Amino acid sequence: MLIEVIESSASVSPMTADVAGALQVGFANDEGQDEEILSAQERAFARSLSSLRNRLRDLLFVKHSALFFTGHAHFNLKQEEEETKAYSKAEQLRQTLLQVCLYSHL
């Protein structure tokens, strides 16, 4: 189900799909059994997965900031081509993060 959502979006790059997929792992139960009782091992796995997902999201925010500041540095150095590349990469990553944040709250 998750792969179908990611693959159906034609404008999504492979990197964006991988990031979005990694951040969305464990959010939706494919079988629709939301009220299923979890074992202790499954609860521990879910906590671990949630922790890893949060770490990945935080690191991607840091990467976005670095790309944005790189674009700003190129702006100050009057390097338009590099500035545009850095800002576009930052924007792409920001869109991915926003997309994933929206899915995680559904």
Mean pLDDT of 2-13: 38
Q: What's phi and psi for 77, nearest 5 deg?
A: -90, 0
Domain span including residue 44: 14-25+39-104
Answer yes or no: are the C-beta atoms of 97 and 15 closer than 8 Å: no
Residue 33 lies in a domain: no
Residue 1 lies in a domain: no
How many folded domains does the chain comprise?
A: 1
Residue 87 lies in a domain: yes
| Torsion (CA) 41, 43, 45, 50 in degrees, nearest 10 | -170
pTM value?
A: 0.64
Q: What are 32-87's pLDDT values in tens digits?
A: 554 467 788 888 898 899 899 889 999 999 999 999 999 999 999 999 999 999 99
pLDDT over 70 at 27, yes or no: no
E strands, 1-106, in order? none
